[in-house]
Structure 1
Amino acid sequence: MADFSLNNVLIDGAKAASDVATSWDNTWKNVLGDSGSLGGTTLYGVLCWVGTLFAVGTLIFLIVELYKDLNEGKPAVLTSLVWPLLVAFLLADNGYWLAKSTLSLREIINQANSQVIAITMSGVKLDELYRQANGNIGLQGIISNSMRACQSLTGEAQMQCMSQAVTQAQTFVDNYKSQFGDTSWLDNIQGFLNGIGSAITGGAVDMGVFGLLKPIWMPIVVAVLYWLQIAYQNLLEAALLITALLGPIAVGGSLLPYGPRSIFAWLTGFFSVGFARLCFNIIVGLASVVATSAEGGDPFWFALFSGLLAPILASSLASGAGLTVWTSIANAVGKTATTIGGLMV
């Protein structure tokens, strides 16, 4: 039963992974959702107060720069007048509108990820393929453990042990068929069991079958890799929430007239984390297609891929994609505002 319980962890892997964002919903609402109703006693309210101090400090530099331009006969740029109003609006009422905007951005990211895992390939949704890939790994581990005890026996004792192991394994296979239906990977496992059953009926079991058994430590390693995968997704949620909490400070520092606006750097970080989640779901989803196909071979590579390699690849892709996309947007917004400002003075 211990093996089957460990396998349940793997079989429910896709559901647990998709529920990570949902499990963080209350935390997001507690941290950001009531920012305007509990005053400065909330964490977000305190950070909005800090952001306001930043805004006041950087406003001094903005006024000095604006005075310098007017003193030199340069026209006032519209953005110099708009930014203080925008910052005041976002930080007003303990950052109520900034919190609402941040929660809306997170919802956009969640919807994008939900649409990705709902994509259908080979007639099956990616999240279901992911669940099947984990189930394939878990089932093979169970069958290996049930037959491993027979390896040290000989003669009639080995035949009886193998017969009992096949019967037990068939129960697990039937249980999986009730959950997944007819799939290529279940057909392969069923064929493996049928072959052993025929050999037992014939009075001889090919000893080569034991060479197909997985190492005894394999299910534990696979479970650890699975938990690493869930930990990575929770880490992304934590990073997204921490980035959201830094929003008031980024907004407050946006009045500094030198260099790029800090709010654009904040948006870059926020959406880079969102891109990491998106990339991870795409990478693992596509790998699930291979892991559940007859041509995918041994599915245990999927555990290593999704638990260790996919997070690294997703983070690398997201850091580049997020920075490129949002740097481009920031530049476009800056140029547009400068152009409009020049037309209105």
Structure 2
Amino acid sequence: MVDISLNDVLINGANAATEVAESWDNTWKDVLGVSGSPGGVSLYGVLCWVGTLFAVGTLIFLIIELYKDLNEGKPAVLTSLIWPLLVAFLLANNGEWLAKSTLALRDIINQANSQVIAITMTGVKLDELYQEANGNIGLQVLISNTMRGCQSLTGEAQIQCMNQALNQAQLFVDTYTSIFGDKTWLNNIQGFLDDIGGAVTVGGVDMGVFGLLKPLWMPIVVSVLYWMQIAYQNLLEASMLVTALLGPVATGGSLLPYGVRSIFAWLTGFFSVGFARLCFNIIVGLASVVATSSEGGDPFWFALFAGLLAPILSFSLASGAGLTVWTSISGAVGKTVKTSIGFVS
């Protein structure tokens, strides 16, 4: 039945971010060649070979610049000597250490996201609030569909139908109460059922009740929006993996003595995707606080928000504020390293 499957999907929705990351773990290790499984040349190994060609090509420009400085009587800059050694170290053995470093960066991003969704706000963890927001939607859909068949009936047949529907709805509420405990949104739904039950007992059904029924297409739309949310999280994971694959090329091209080091540009892109995931979890978590409060109104806006609007907003924030933050951090670190090296030399 569509409603039951929707119910299961929404109840387990809070674990989506963690499950998506875990489902990609083996793919990351296989693609980056650190899983230890036997095989031929990996895609990452081929890209390391391409990165090595880039390194050799850009090394020529580095040598020319170094020769020009020495010819003009300028002292050799220590960074000119360190970068070739660093690039050679990272690309050696099919980029083994570059791959391990990339996985370590991903672990840091995943850990930060896990800590964000586990933080407590208004006495409840954000991941629990996310579960409640989805549970609120699922329960209202279930109750709506149990009463829908009574709408076309009249008289005693309608009363009997409503009694059966109320009994079924009460089972749903009891099940959700056993899962979530005593919650405001559950108490509101329970009060709604009690009012209907009182009206049925005295021999009448308020037809206004049926005006609260959710449209037939609502479960389908909610399911689509939920899977759009999961698809977005998988898209972020795929984007980060593709960015990781470009690491060897960026590392090899970082020997070019002109402009910004390409490895810093690569790190900026890598962390920008991580910022997108972080922003998404924060946005959805905060929206869950509103969706589970008594002032949040109809919770179905949360499905649209989490499935469509939150991905757009998180991507915009990551490409704007997140990118600026990481650029500032990397710039500060770069200046510190250059100052330290200049002091040593």
Q: TM-score, normalised by structure 2?
A: 0.96
Map of 1:24-173 to 2, 5 A cutoff?
24-34=24-34, 41-173=41-173
Q: What is the rounded CA distance, in whole Å, between the counterparts of 2:94 and 2:297 in structure 1?
A: 56
The answer to whether the Cα contact below 8 Å between 1:35 and 1:94 also exists between their aligned partners in 2 is: no
1:332 aligns with 332
The alignment partner of 1:4 has SS state of helix
Confirm or deny: 8 A CA contact 1:47 1:248 kept in the other structure: yes
Which amino acid in 1 is paired with 2:122?
Answer: S
Q: Separation in 1 of the partners of 2:36 and 2:175?
A: 51
Q: Distance in 2 between matches of 1:266 and 1:37?
A: 27
How many residues align? The count is: 345
- Cα 1:35/1:10, change in 2 over 3 Å: closer
**Which structure 2 segments of 5+ residues have no match?**
none
Q: Which moved more, 1:249-258 or 1:145-154?
A: 145-154
Do the aligned partners of 1:36 and 1:95 also contact (CA within 8 Å) in 2?
Answer: no
Cα 1:58–1:251 shift into 2, 3 Å? same
CA RMSD of aligned residues (A): 1.6
Gap change, CA 1:343 and 1:23, over 3 Å in 2: same
- Alignment partner of 1:203 is 2:171: no
Q: Take 1:262 and 1:246, find their aligned partners in 2: how far apart are those partners? A: 11
Secondary structure in 1 matching 2:170: helix
Paired residue for 2:6? 6
Q: 1:38 to 1:84 in 2, by over 3 A?
A: farther
Aligned partners of 1:173 and 1:35: how far apart in 2? 46
Does the Cα contact within 8 Å between 1:226 and 1:303 map onto a contact in 2? yes
- Runs of 4 or more above 3 Å deviation: 35-40, 340-345
Instruction: Work out the CA distance in 1 between the residues paired with 2:334 and 2:227.
Output: 43
1:142-166 CA-partner distances (Å, limit 9, x unpaired): 1111111111111111111111111
Distance 1:57 1:108, change over 3 A: same
Distance in 1 separating the partners of 2:237 and 2:12: 20
Unaligned 5+ runs, structure 1: none
Give the deviation of 1:343 after TM superposition.
3.3
Structure 2 CA distance for partners of 1:124 and 1:35, relative to 1, 3 Å? closer
CA contact (8 A) 1:148 1:213 kept: yes
Whether the 8 Å contact between 1:77 and 1:338 is mirrored in structure 2 is: no
8 Å Cα contact 1:59/1:255 also seen in 2: yes
Deviation larger for 92-101 or 331-340: 331-340
- Is 2:234 aligned against 1:234? yes
Name 1:272's counterpart in structure 2: 272
Distance 2:46 2:85 in 1: 21
Tell me how far apart the structure 2 counterparts of residues 39 and 159 of structure 1 sit (CA, whole Å): 69
In the TM superposition, residue 38 of structure 1 has moved relative to its aligned partner by 5.6
Taking every aligned residue pair, what percent have the same amino acid on both sides? 81
Note the C-alpha offset of 1:29: 1.3
User: Which one-letter code corresponds to 1:263 in the other structure?
Assistant: I
Counterpart CA distance in 2 for 1:238 and 1:84 is 30
CA deviation after TM superposition for structure 1 residue 212, in Å: 1.1
**Matched-pair contact (CA < 8 Å) for 2:52–2:91:** yes
Please report how far the alpha carbon of residue 35 of structure 1 lies from its aligned counterpart in structure 2 after TM superposition. Answer: 7.5
What are the superposed Cα offsets for residues 2-50 of structure 1, whole Å, 9 maximum, x if unpaired?
A: 3112221111111233311011111111112528886870111111111
Cα distance in 1, alignment partners of residues 204 and 270 from structure 2 = 62
Alpha-carbon shift at residue 341 of structure 1 (Å)? 4.0
Amino acid at match of 1:99: A
Give distance in 1, aligned partners of 2:175 and 2:285.
24
- Give deviations 1:232-263, integer Å, cap 9, x for gaps: 00000001111111100000000001110000
**TM-score (ref. length: structure 1):** 0.96
| Deviation of the 1:338 alpha carbon | 3.3
Give the match for residue 282 of structure 2.
Answer: 282
1:218 & 1:2 partners in 2: Cα distance? 11
Check 1:23–1:150 CA distance in 2 against 1; reply closer, same or farther (3 A cut). same
